[in-house]
Amino acid sequence: MEIVLVGLNHRTAPVEVRERVSFTAEQARRAANELRSRGILEETLVLSTCNRSEVYGVPPESSHECAPGLSSFLSEFHEVRPDVLGVSLYHHYDREAVRHLFRVSAGLDSMLLGEAEILGQVREAYRFAHELGATGPVLNRLFQGALEVGKRVRSETDLGTRPMSVASAGVKLAERIFGKLQERTALVLGAGAISEQVVSQLHDRGIANLLVMNRSRERAGELARQFSGKVVGWGEWDAALQTPDVVVSSVAAEEPVLRREMVERAMSARENRALFLMDLGMPRNIDAGVAKLYNVYVYNMDDLSDIVQQNRQARENEIPRAENIVDEHVGKFLSWQASVELVSLVDELRAKLREERSGFIRARMESMKHLNEADQARMEVLMDELLEKLLLEPAQRLRGEKELRRKIQNVEALRDLFLSNREKP
Amino acid sequence: MNHLALLLTVLAYLLSLCLYIRFLSTGRELTGRLGTLLLGLGLVAHYFALLERSRGLHTVPYHDLYGSMSLFGWLLAVTYLGLELYHRQRSVGAFVLPFILVFFLAAHLAPADRLPPPALHGAVFAFHVTLSILAYAAFALSFVLSIIFLGEERLLRRHELGNMVWRLPPLELLERMSRSSVLVGLVAITIGTALGFVSVDRLTGQYWFYDPKYIVTLLVLLLYVLYFGLARTAAWRGSRASKLCVFNFAVVVLSFTVVNLYLSHSHRYF
């Protein structure tokens, strides 16, 4: 019942290697089936995201012995030379494998600390493997624990609550003013990469209407089509500024594109409904005087970068709390694992002692011919009672005492000691 | 029973306050729900505490200053809970609960007044008083919401977000909640005042006689109608409307204190 993990991530492998070792859904299904049919793993689960490819499994024998086979399999499966793959792969066993997975689902191992997507990816990978029948009792319990850790970290800490990019910080700020964006309109000035990032965030948050204004109408059309928006002709300021609640500006221009008098006119036309302006241009696209207008909120690139910096610090401050949750659940999982293994060990020990008892009695009875059958039967019963008594109390304590299970670190050593058939030295 | 109801009310309100504060800092949904649940339990226990006090005085609890304060606290909690459920927004709880607690404790830890009961009594009079206190509670709530709005708006304009702004309700929701609260107050004060005139008519045979309290109450009514009308207009929406709401409540406080205690001939504590 050991656990093995072999994988690579953004820290250990460059993007060229990560690309080659990533799994599509079909590849994940094929890999899971092959790993089990070849007898490398009994239970298996493939977790593949843009930043990591990991195979979790329960090997039939020792996890340490299984790891090289698993590495070779990955190398063969993805047709990557073992020496290229070898330097990028990490291997974790048992406690470390459990801890690694729990940290992954908590977002502690992500490139962007505390990112939310990874929990959904772990959930999806587990659902996929479970439906495939590739998981068993150990991986089921392990991944259910991982999902619980992910949920707890997100609800009990601030690790994932604060925006970590300029685009998401801007969108979150808009939500501080308007609430949900489902009934709101956004105007995007410029159609470059930054605009696209913000539009993507707005789209994810359910913005109702998107207007795109760009000097190149063609590029504006592309962006608008991509996110189901509409194109507004460049320079139609009075009409364009009347409806939106959020304006995002990222235009290459020497002079401010939005001047105070333009916004003042627009505010009058829109009856002073609040207006949130995100100025992501460099130099700034919005005249500094606009920020003084009533019900107008202006945030430029520096303001948003400051927020991101503060949030990064705030997230880092949450790491110890998140690690505590991870440790708590690692302890719980190991305790469960030990209880299952120890109970199975006691059962095996009982069966072995019964077997030994039969042989022992047969051998001794040969020299005790003076006992009648009833006495012999009575002796057997007494021996059975003694064995049960000796085993019953430890078995009950193992089932009932968590602390005792935690103290027994190495079940395999106990198994070796009591159940091994090796000759005495 | 009296002590038990008092103890349970204080305990429920205190725990509710702690949970609302925790909800504000962590955003954990379960914590917020528990805060709401405990506020509901506090309301039930508070009701029994009011009932006990009423029995002890052999009169309705609003006949003395402290009873009025306790009833005010209870109606503030009822109004807040209604708004919270209607707008599905719990972040304000941490700011409202301290007021509820203070009013409850001040009312129930103080000895009862030994003033004679007022000349007016009966169901119409009881509704007049209860609705008037409900109106003041709703106006107090709109005051708290406006203060939060002004604080949050200031932080957003100055780009000083800190930890708090991310947890507070959005500005537009605060405006909507404040308007809802004022609407409850307006309906209550309109009906309550009309019932007051009916009560006076029954006692004296005339609807009107000069009392500064009447003038101030009509002024309060007018100011909140003004707020309600202006809050969505171009010139006033946003922080100006919130400032007007804060000013209006200052007039309510004036009506509650100076007018009641020194100027009015017919009103004591509401």
Instruction: Identify whether the C-beta of residue A189 lies closer than 8 Å to the C-beta of residue A250.
Output: yes
The backbone torsions φ and ψ at residue A111, rounded to the nearest 5 degrees and listed phi first, read: -65, -45
pLDDT number for residue B200: 75
Answer whether residue B269 shows pLDDT above 60.
no
List active site positions of A. 50
The whole-number average pLDDT for the span A237-253 is 92
Cα-based distances in Å from B91 to A403, B21, B85, B94, B167? 41, 8, 12, 7, 7
- Closest residue of B to A151, CA-based? B28
- The enclosing domain of B60 has a CATH number of 1.20.120
Q: Which residues of A touch B151 (CB under 8 A)?
A: none
pLDDT digits (tens, 9 = 90+) for A189-230: 999 888 898 999 999 999 999 999 999 999 999 999 999 999
The strand pair at A296-300 and A275-279 is best described as parallel
A14 preceded by a cis bond (ω within 30 of 0): no
The whole-number average pLDDT for the span A267-296 is 92
Q: Assess whether B112 and B6 both reside in one domain.
A: yes
Q: Over chain A, what is the mean pLDDT? A: 88
pLDDT digits (tens, 9 = 90+) for B169-215: 999 999 999 999 999 999 999 999 888 888 877 777 776 677 778 88
Q: Which domain holds residue B33?
A: 1-117
Distance from CA of B9 to the nearest CA of A (A): 28
* Interacting residues of B16 by C-beta distance below 8 A, sequence separation 6+: B35, B36, B38, B39, B42, B93, B97
- Of B83, B102, B117, the one marking the end of a domain is B117
Q: b vs e for B246-262, b when ≥16 Cβ sit within 10 Å of the residue's Cβ?
A: eebbebbeebbeebbee
Q: Assess whether B103 and B140 both reside in one domain.
A: no
Q: Which residues of A touch B234 (CB under 8 A)?
A: 268, 271-272
Instruction: Identify whether the C-beta of residue B122 lies closer than 8 Å to the C-beta of residue B212.
Output: no
Q: Which CATH number describes the domain made up of A166-314?
A: 3.40.50.720
What ipTM, to 2 d.p.? 0.83
Q: Assess whether B224 and B137 both reside in one domain.
A: yes
Tell me, what amino acid is at A52? R
Of A293, A259, A288, A256, give the one whose Cα is nearest residue A274: A293
- Inter-chain Cβ pairs, chain A and chain B, closer than 8 A: 60
DSSP type of residue A286: B
pLDDT number for residue B225: 95
Relative orientation angle of helices B171-204 and B239-254, to the nearest 10 degrees: 30
The backbone torsions φ and ψ at residue B46, rounded to the nearest 5 degrees and listed phi first, read: -60, -40
Q: Assess whether B138 and B110 both reside in one domain.
A: no
Nearest to A178 among B27, B170, B238 (CB): B170
Q: Is B237 within 8 Å of chain A by CB?
A: yes
Which of A82-86, A365-369, B125-129 is predicted with the least confidence, judged by mean pLDDT? A365-369
- Closest residue of A to B161, CA-based? A307
pLDDT number for residue A424: 43
Q: CA B146 to CA A421: how far, in whole Å?
A: 80
pLDDT number for residue A86: 87
Q: Assess whether B72 and B99 both reside in one domain.
A: yes
Q: Assess whether B111 and B150 both reside in one domain.
A: no
Q: CA A24 to CA A320: how far, in whole Å?
A: 34
Tell me, what amino acid is at A354? R
- Of B117, B133, B152, the one marking the end of a domain is B117
- Of B117, B135, B152, the one marking the end of a domain is B117
Nearest to A303 among B159, B168, B172 (CB): B159
Q: Is A162 within 8 Å of chain B by CB?
A: yes
Residue A263's SS3 state is helix
The position carrying tokens 């400032």 is B243
Of B226, B214, B219, B213, give the one whose Cα is nearest residue B250: B219
The strand pair at A52-58 and A4-9 is best described as antiparallel
The more confidently predicted of residues A111 and A409 is: A111
How many domains is chain B built from?
2
The more confidently predicted of residues A117 and A45 is: A45
Centroid of chain to Cα A140: 15
Q: Is B171 within 8 Å of A303 when comparing Cβ atoms?
A: no
Q: Is A155 within 8 Å of chain B by CB?
A: yes
Q: Assess whether B23 and B137 both reside in one domain.
A: no
Instruction: Identify whether the C-beta of residue B59 lies closer than 8 Å to the C-beta of residue B263.
Output: no
pLDDT number for residue A409: 65
Q: Assess whether B129 and B249 both reside in one domain.
A: yes
Q: Assess whether B95 and B27 both reside in one domain.
A: yes
Q: Is B234 within 8 Å of A299 when comparing Cβ atoms?
A: no
Q: Is B173 within 8 Å of chain A by CB?
A: yes
Q: CA B147 to CA B138: how far, in whole Å?
A: 14
Relative orientation angle of helices A25-37 and A117-132, to the nearest 10 degrees: 50
Cα-based distances in Å from A170 to A85, A237, B156? 40, 22, 12
Tell me the domain boundaries of chain A: 4-160, 166-314, 328-419
pLDDT band at A425 (very low <50, low <70, confident <90, very high): very low
Instruction: Identify whether the C-beta of residue A408 lies closer than 8 Å to the C-beta of residue A414.
Output: yes
Q: Which residues of B touch A176 (CB under 8 A)?
A: 152, 156, 165-166, 168, 170-171
Q: Assess whether B138 and B221 both reside in one domain.
A: yes
Q: Which residues of A touch B237 (CB under 8 A)?
A: 271-274, 295
Q: Is B26 within 8 Å of A156 when comparing Cβ atoms?
A: yes
Answer whether residue B101 shows pLDDT above 80.
yes
Q: Which CATH number describes the domain made up of A4-160?
A: 3.30.460.30
Q: Assess whether B92 and B210 both reside in one domain.
A: no
Nearest to A161 among B165, B166, B169 (CB): B166
Q: Is A307 within 8 Å of B161 when comparing Cβ atoms?
A: yes
Q: Assess whether B160 and B228 both reside in one domain.
A: yes
The whole-number average pLDDT for the span B106-123 is 65
